[in-house]
Amino acid sequence: MIIETEEELIGMKAVSEAVAITLKEMKDYVKPGMSTLELDQFGATIMAKFGCKSAPFETYKFPGYTCLSVNEEICHGIPRADKILLEGDVINIDVSGELNGFWADNGGSIVVGEDVNGYQKIVNASISALQKAIAAVKSGVKIADIGGIIEKEAKKHRYSVIENLTGHGVGRSLHEEPLDLLNFRDPDDKRRFRKNSVIALETFISENSYEAVEQADGWTMIGNEPGVFAQHEHTILVTSEGPMILTLMNGNW
């Protein structure tokens, strides 16, 4: 989406606030012993207070209101009553929504309870990668260079990136141009960010994998090698001066 009017900016800010506050409250609510279904239902009640609809359900008929992916699951994890969170699990909470014809997307991985497994390190690497990538975004910047920043930061912490999962444009639908905002630098990608475009920039940081593989349920993605993952995502407005993070209140940092 290219924002052209003040009304469009107001609309994007409203839906971004809805999904961001939902994400933050879900992160504050989660605890060991809770099922991912309970967490999802809690998130649904928060979104409903804003009048916000679940984007994955509305767009793809996803079997849940939010995507909840645990440990070896990268993304698109289905909320389940029998998926019980344990102390030290890492969970990726992805919340996207639609409000009054505008769409926003954000997510964040956190450790559940105490960090008994040492997963906070990969969570911190993902946060750092997204912070540095977003800081470099402004109109005219090469899209490929932002992917390079994410990959460089992951490697600095001795992690890899998932190459077949990407960020994307957002605004009037959940996924729109520019598509394929990679987590690595593709030298063949000559595109540049456009002024006043809205994007969902996200990291996919891995212990060992480079590729996401879809599971038999048709939704959940895991890595091609064993290990855990961390992901963080913000919806941002690209300006000539730099990024405006529309979902900043989600508590990712």
Q: Determine the pLDDT at residue 92.
A: 99
Helices (H) and strands (E) in the chain, counts: 5, 15
What mean pLDDT, rounded, does the chain reach?
98
pLDDT in tens, 180-197: 999 999 999 999 999 999
Q: What is the number of alpha carbons within 13 Å of residue 50 lying toward its C-beta?
A: 25
Kindly calculate the radius of gyration of the chain based on its CA atoms and give it in whole angstroms.
Answer: 17
Q: How far apart are the C-alpha atoms of 183 and 234, rounded to whole Å? A: 14
pLDDT one-digit tens code per residue, 101-128: 999 999 999 999 999 999 999 999 999 9
Each residue of 32-85: pLDDT tens digit?
999 999 999 999 999 999 999 999 999 999 999 999 999 999 999 999 999 999
Q: Is the pTM of this model over 0.95?
A: yes
User: Is 105 labeled as ligand-binding?
Assistant: yes
76: left (phi over 0), alpha (psi -120 to 50) or beta: left
Domains annotated on the chain, with CATH: 6-250 (3.90.230.10)
Q: Express each pLDDT in 79-107 by its tens digit.
A: 999 999 999 999 999 999 999 999 999 99
Q: What is the pLDDT of residues 189-229, one digit of tens each?
A: 999 999 999 999 999 999 999 999 999 999 999 999 999 99
Structure tokens of 181? 């905002």
115 known member of a binding site: no
- Residue 7 confidence (pLDDT): 98
Is 94 known as a binding-site position? Answer: yes
Q: Which of 49, 51, 161, 169 is nearest to 105 (CA)?
A: 169
Return the HEC string of 43-98. Answer: HHHHHHHHCCEEHHHHHHCCCCCCEEEECCEEECCCCCCCCECCCCCEEEEEEEEE
pLDDT of residue 112: 99
d(CA 200, CA 176): 10
* Distance of alpha carbon 229 from alpha carbon 222, whole angstroms: 9
pLDDT digits (tens, 9 = 90+) for 9-22: 999 999 999 999 99
